[in-house]
Structure 1
Amino acid sequence: MIRTPLRPLARILRARETGENPDVIEADNLRARHEVLRDKARKRAEGRLLLLVMAFCAAFMTVGIRMAVLAGTEPEEPRASVAGKGIQAQRADIVDRNGHVLATNMVTHALYSHPRDMVDAPRAARELAKIFPEMDEEKLLKQFTSGSAFLWLKRTLSPEQVQAVHDIGEPGLLFGPREMRLYPNGKLAAHVLGGTRFGDEGVHSAEVIGVAGIEKTLDERLRDPALLDQPLQLSIDLSVQAAFAEVLHAGMKLLNAKGAAGILMDAKNGEIISMVSLPDFDPNNRPPLPVSGDPADSPLFNRAIQGVYELGSVMKAFPVAQSLELGLTNPNTMINTQGPMQLGRFRIRDFRNYGPALSVTDIMTKSSNIGTTRLIQQIGATRQQAFLKELGFLDVTGVEVSEAGRARPLVPKRWSDIHSATISYGHGLSASAIHLAAGYATLVNGGYAVQPTLLKREGPAPQMAQVISARTSDQMREILRQVVVRGSAKMAEVPGYLLGGKTGTADKQKPTGGYYKDKVMANFAGAFPMDDPRYVIIISLDEPVETSGTIARRTAGWTAVPVTGEVVRRIAPLLGLRPAEVEAPAPTAVTAVRN
């Protein structure tokens, strides 16, 4: 930077020649320099002031625009916030296959207190104990006078309880908004839905998280904010579920059983239309988990999925189907049933003496243990094990309830000849009712393995592996139909609906080993209508006893079978099935007329 000198030599010399004072020249130059600096400072200040004015104008315009936007929108209630992470309280609805609500959220209130703000703590404790009998007045008063700043009193309140607490008039009693899970149908489909509880909670909201059933398995989907307005649709039919549960409950009580399970499943795509487990519970007031005794005695225990039992003679359908599929027999092949049959140190007997030989069809209709053992000896243990695995009997089912993962079938460690024989007629392998339903669906639907599901399928069913041929499936449908027409399941016959199936009565195992002599699991597994099977039905009764006669009868033919017939009679019209043509009875001399 070049600076102009304050005392230029040329001007100083001229000033001295003319007699002028050289200091005046310096003063004039200094004044001119200051004026230039002043002008630059003024311009810089004016620029800064202009920028500041523009910033203030922009800020006021932003505030004004925001106020105009707020003034032009609908008023909205502000939401209270809590410290820490946000709490996701909402949860999607669950509906049945027809859109009827099975589970939804309801707005309610929680009750809490600020003891330091209480005016009359003794009166508050006394009045709360009157409203809520489960609360203890002395305990409440002790909590209110303990010096605590905050106390939870009750997580959910009914509208009547909110009003009653409000009428106390105590400023230290406060309400917090809540969303609670509501099951409007009470016990209906309780084991399918499972239940919920509160998770993380604050004063103004609380998480609702699944603890069992489909609520737990699909918890993330039900809590996904992007899917809250899309209900989860199940395959369950609420009307069928109600009728099924009513009949099964009546049958359980009539037959003095300690428990029961029932499944109705679409034979072609595996959709579970109804699943009942008794005794049941109300998920609105879910009981605590048992801490002692047999877990199966708890109403929380899902007998249809968690209950893993030896299934009895319903398993005979599988060696018969495999024998037909391998071409070892046909429905009319005669099999040696002379008994008792010696297998190593074990003797295998039939319920009664059926003579020296039975056809394959009659092995099923008369339920011959010896007959199915003869068939499995031809098949071999290795092929038997592989066949049962294809049918799903050696793995968990994958049904969308949390309990399904713990229901792994119990199989022998070593698949010996005697194990192979006993498994062929229903002992030595323990599985659940849902395993049985999937297996029977494969037998009657053309031979395709199905994956049971509680979710309504959209579009065609996924591609399934073919386990047996369509020809074998046709033969099995006819054989199972004969069991109802002239075999051990005659009392299940419902005119017009062509039910077919197999009975099974298995001695119940003791927890310490061995079997009870007077306790059984009675089962029926079947399908209808047998000309084109659409549904598989499973009925299981735990320790039933039919006492209408002079002797106690426990076999499935006297217990599970009549219950099955009544269930089909009730639910078939609800499923939209029209009865097939039934031959009219022969006319009699008396004609009934109605005026």
Structure 2
Amino acid sequence: MTRTPLRPLARVLEARAKGQNPAAIERENIHKRHEEMRDSTRARAEGRLLVLAAFFFCAFAVVGTRMGVMATAEPREPIASASGASIATQRGDIVDRQGRILATNFETHSLYAQPPLMVDPMAAADGLVQIFSDLDKDRLVKDFTGKRKFLWIKKRISPEQKQAVHDLGDPGLLFGPREMRLYPNGQLAAHVLGGAGFGKEGVSAAEVIGVAGVEKKFDTYLRDPANGAKPLQLSLDLTVQAAVERVLFGGMKIMNAKGASAVLMDVHTGEVISAASLPSFDPNDRPRPPTSGFDPSDSPLFNRYVQGVYELGSVYKIFTAAQAVDLGLVNSNTIIDTSGPMRIGRFPIGEFQGKNYGKLSVADIIVKSSNRGTGRLAIQIGGKRQQQFLDGLGMFDPTPFEIVEAAGGKPLLPKKWGELSTVTISYGHGLSTSPMHLAAGYAAIANGGNYVSPTILKKTGAQYGPRVMSNNAAKQARAMLRKVVTSGTASFGEVPGYEVGGKTGTADKPKPRGGYYDKKVIATFASIFPMSDPKYVLVVTLDEPSILAYGEKRRTAGWTAVPVAAELIGRVAPLLGLRPKVEQPDPAAIRLTAN
């Protein structure tokens, strides 16, 4: 734009010659300049408005097109995966050590509705309520006659239910394919398997993910297409597991226990052949976790053999004796004075029911379960060496057992490991661990002194870890455990032909907020069989057992956990392929009789 001067000299001279006022020229030029500036600004504003209008037109066109596409496309649930992402629908099977199915996939269908396509919403709602008694008719009618374009009715339905819905004949009721997880054995091994649920979902597919147990621990493996049809093989034996759960349930009821657990473990491979926790649940219909304010152990979801971290009592005494032998401090025949009184600082160390055993051999300390005898062995060992030994047995960390709940079973250690802790831990108080920890510890005694890591996966051959005690110490410890059964506190644990050895443990149950209950205990029996050629460890734990015998309430493990374990061994030993050892009769006792 050419800028004109406000007072051009030629026009000023011309105006003066004509007698006109030169200031009028300046006013005229200012007016023209303002008009030119206004026109320029208006043109610029109009251009901007045009560009903005074009932008909004394009945006509305895109939105309108998208809405049109969505209105004509197949409906999807709001939480479906993003555009372009696929939903993995294949999941590998889980089998036991013999290849028998523990978890597999089952094809079923989901039921959803598209209200705009429905012919008679009222009749459809009435028919659905008759098929699915848990549905609310009023709610269905409101959804069918409202503004909703899509809604889920049932995520999983049976073939019979699908046929019944199909017979309703309403085009607005539609089915989507589903792959659900099926546990054909119901509650069997529920705490090991855990359960599965749906992850990403659409009307044409649903992702099955693990929510607990091995299903969650091995979720990536089970969902990996690269594994093809190869199942996840566990160390469990389905037949043995069924027998263990049946006997354990009967024992829990007879002993009036709140709960129970059992762990059967191969002492050379660490394979867990059976692991049971009662009460149990059906992973096909996994219950919801309890709300706040409840004791976790009140829930059937609570896994007692890995999450049940308690002071397990006198079952720990054999570790003290084995370490003392391993260090060369004593042997099984060494005499220890267990007489009272015995005090550690201001704390007295007493015996069960105030007994005073006097002088006992190390073997008899275990047989009679002497607290003072075990405590005096622990003092000779010393706290530092005791910690190193128990740490080697895996008692300070969660077990490496391959289910997600095992990580929550972290042992509870004393804040200060002084002389008092050394003594009390020697007989199973002051250190809280799970039955799975105990099974691994006893396996080391059974296999000759090597730690084996408990595993739920099938293994081939021995899986020995670091050596934690000498073979001599383990051998003497096994002899002590055998004597506990033949002439000690576990006399009810004898199973003819299978040479059972083990140790009882009865510990006062802790209160949630500190202290101990007066008449509630955790009763445990840790056993090895057969002692002549150890192959298996069995740990049975009962929560709050109580039985009336000889006119008295009995809560100790010798009266409660031991008989249950003996029945278990008698039931599962033949299933494990163990032949009973038949004792040869004394020839001098044989007499000939005439017919």
TM-score bin (small chain): 0.7 to 0.9
- CA positional deviation for 1:460: 3.0
Q: Deviations over 1:428-486 (max 9, x none)?
A: 000000000000001121100111000001x3344521111111111111111000010
Q: What corresponds to 2:364 in structure 1?
A: 362
- Report if aligned partners of 1:82, 1:204 keep a CA contact under 8 Å in 2: no
Partner SS for 2:552: coil
- CA positional deviation for 1:130: 1.1
Which amino acid in the other structure matches residue 385 of structure 1?
Q
Q: Structure 2 matches for 1:277-296, cutoff 5 A?
A: 277-292=277-292, 293-296=294-297
Partner SS for 2:197: strand
Q: What corresponds to 2:471 in structure 1?
A: 470
Distance 1:470 1:386 in 2: 18
Q: What corresponds to 1:382 in structure 2?
A: 384
Q: Structure 2 matches for 1:274-313, cutoff 5 A?
A: 274-292=274-292, 293-313=294-314
Q: Deviations over 1:384-408 (max 9, x none)?
A: 0110000000011111100011111
Q: What corresponds to 1:482 in structure 2?
A: 483
Partner SS for 2:135: coil
Distance 2:585 2:139 in 1: 74
Q: What corresponds to 1:184 in structure 2?
A: 184
- Report if aligned partners of 1:520, 1:554 keep a CA contact under 8 Å in 2: yes
Distance 1:265 1:303 in 2: 16
Gaps of 5+ in 1: 1-80
Q: What corresponds to 1:325 in structure 2?
A: 326
Distance 2:355 2:463 in 1: 46
Q: What corresponds to 1:129 in structure 2?
A: 129
Q: What corresponds to 1:48 in structure 2?
A: none
Partner SS for 2:554: coil
Change in 2 beyond 3 A, CA 1:118/1:478: same
Alignment of 1:501 with 2:502, yes or no, is yes
Alignment of 1:540 with 2:541, yes or no, is yes
- CA positional deviation for 1:270: 0.3
Partner SS for 1:277: strand
Which amino acid in the other structure matches residue 526 of structure 1?
S
- Report if aligned partners of 2:541, 2:561 keep a CA contact under 8 Å in 1: yes
Q: What corresponds to 1:435 in structure 2?
A: 437
Q: Deviations over 1:306-342 (max 9, x none)?
A: 1100000001011101000000000000001002311
- Report if aligned partners of 1:325, 1:469 keep a CA contact under 8 Å in 2: yes
Change in 2 beyond 3 A, CA 1:104/1:345: same
Distance 2:396 2:573 in 1: 32
Q: What corresponds to 1:413 in structure 2?
A: 415
Q: Deviations over 1:346-395 (max 9, x none)?
A: 01111142432110000000000000000000000010011000000001
Q: What corresponds to 1:559 in structure 2?
A: 560
Which amino acid in the other structure matches residue 392 of structure 1?
G
Q: What corresponds to 1:246 in structure 2?
A: 246
Distance 2:544 2:471 in 1: 37
- CA positional deviation for 1:583: 4.3
- CA positional deviation for 1:588: 10
- CA positional deviation for 1:281: 0.2
Alignment of 1:153 with 2:179, yes or no, is no
Change in 2 beyond 3 A, CA 1:463/1:483: closer
Distance 1:131 1:340 in 2: 74
Q: What corresponds to 2:227 in structure 1?
A: 227
- CA positional deviation for 1:134: 1.1
Partner SS for 1:127: helix
Distance 1:336 1:477 in 2: 23
Which amino acid in the other structure matches residue 136 of structure 1?
D
Distance 2:84 2:340 in 1: 75
Tell me which moved more, 415-424 or 581-590: 581-590
- Report if aligned partners of 1:340, 1:350 keep a CA contact under 8 Å in 2: no
Q: Percent identity?
A: 58
- Report if aligned partners of 2:260, 2:543 keep a CA contact under 8 Å in 1: yes
Change in 2 beyond 3 A, CA 1:148/1:313: same
Distance 1:124 1:548 in 2: 62
- CA positional deviation for 1:82: 9.5
Distance 1:235 1:330 in 2: 37
Which amino acid in the other structure matches residue 443 of structure 1?
I
Q: What corresponds to 1:140 in structure 2?
A: 140
Distance 1:257 1:214 in 2: 27
Distance 1:285 1:425 in 2: 42
Q: What corresponds to 1:401 in structure 2?
A: 403
- CA positional deviation for 1:128: 0.8
Change in 2 beyond 3 A, CA 1:116/1:589: farther
Q: Structure 2 matches for 1:81-160, cutoff 5 A?
A: 83-160=83-160
Q: What corresponds to 2:236 in structure 1?
A: 236
- Report if aligned partners of 1:82, 1:202 keep a CA contact under 8 Å in 2: no
Q: What corresponds to 2:41 in structure 1?
A: none
Q: What corresponds to 2:203 in structure 1?
A: 203
Which amino acid in the other structure matches residue 243 of structure 2?
A
- CA positional deviation for 1:413: 1.2
Q: What corresponds to 1:3 in structure 2?
A: none
Q: Deviations over 1:257-300 (max 9, x none)?
A: 00000000000110000000000000000000111301111000
Q: What corresponds to 1:18 in structure 2?
A: none
Which amino acid in the other structure matches residue 152 of structure 1?
W
Q: What corresponds to 1:269 in structure 2?
A: 269
Q: Deviations over 1:486-540 (max 9, x none)?
A: 0000101001101101000000001121111100000000110001110000000
Distance 1:413 1:349 in 2: 23
- CA positional deviation for 1:559: 0.1
Distance 2:573 2:565 in 1: 12
Change in 2 beyond 3 A, CA 1:203/1:553: same
- Report if aligned partners of 1:222, 1:228 keep a CA contact under 8 Å in 2: no
Q: Deviations over 1:32-87 (max 9, x none)?
A: xxxxxxxxxxxxxxxxxxxxxxxxxxxxxxxxxxxxxxxxxxxxxxxxx9943110
- CA positional deviation for 1:587: 7.5
Gaps of 5+ in 2: 1-80
Structure 1 stretches (4+) deviating beyond 6 angstroms? 585-591
Distance 2:555 2:477 in 1: 27
Aligned length: 511
TM-score by length of 2: 0.84
Distance 2:159 2:589 in 1: 64
Which amino acid in the other structure matches residue 527 of structure 2?
G
Q: What corresponds to 1:315 in structure 2?
A: 316
Distance 1:288 1:359 in 2: 53
Which amino acid in the other structure matches residue 103 of structure 1?
A
Which amino acid in the other structure matches residue 129 of structure 1?
V
Change in 2 beyond 3 A, CA 1:550/1:463: closer
Distance 1:305 1:512 in 2: 21
Change in 2 beyond 3 A, CA 1:463/1:479: closer
Distance 2:186 2:153 in 1: 25
Q: Deviations over 1:89-132 (max 9, x none)?
A: 11000000000000000000000010110111111111111111
Distance 1:481 1:239 in 2: 28
Distance 1:116 1:547 in 2: 68
Alignment of 1:163 with 2:145, yes or no, is no
Q: What corresponds to 2:572 in structure 1?
A: 571
Distance 1:590 1:99 in 2: 52
Alignment of 1:341 with 2:323, yes or no, is no
Tell me which moved more, 462-471 or 152-161: 462-471
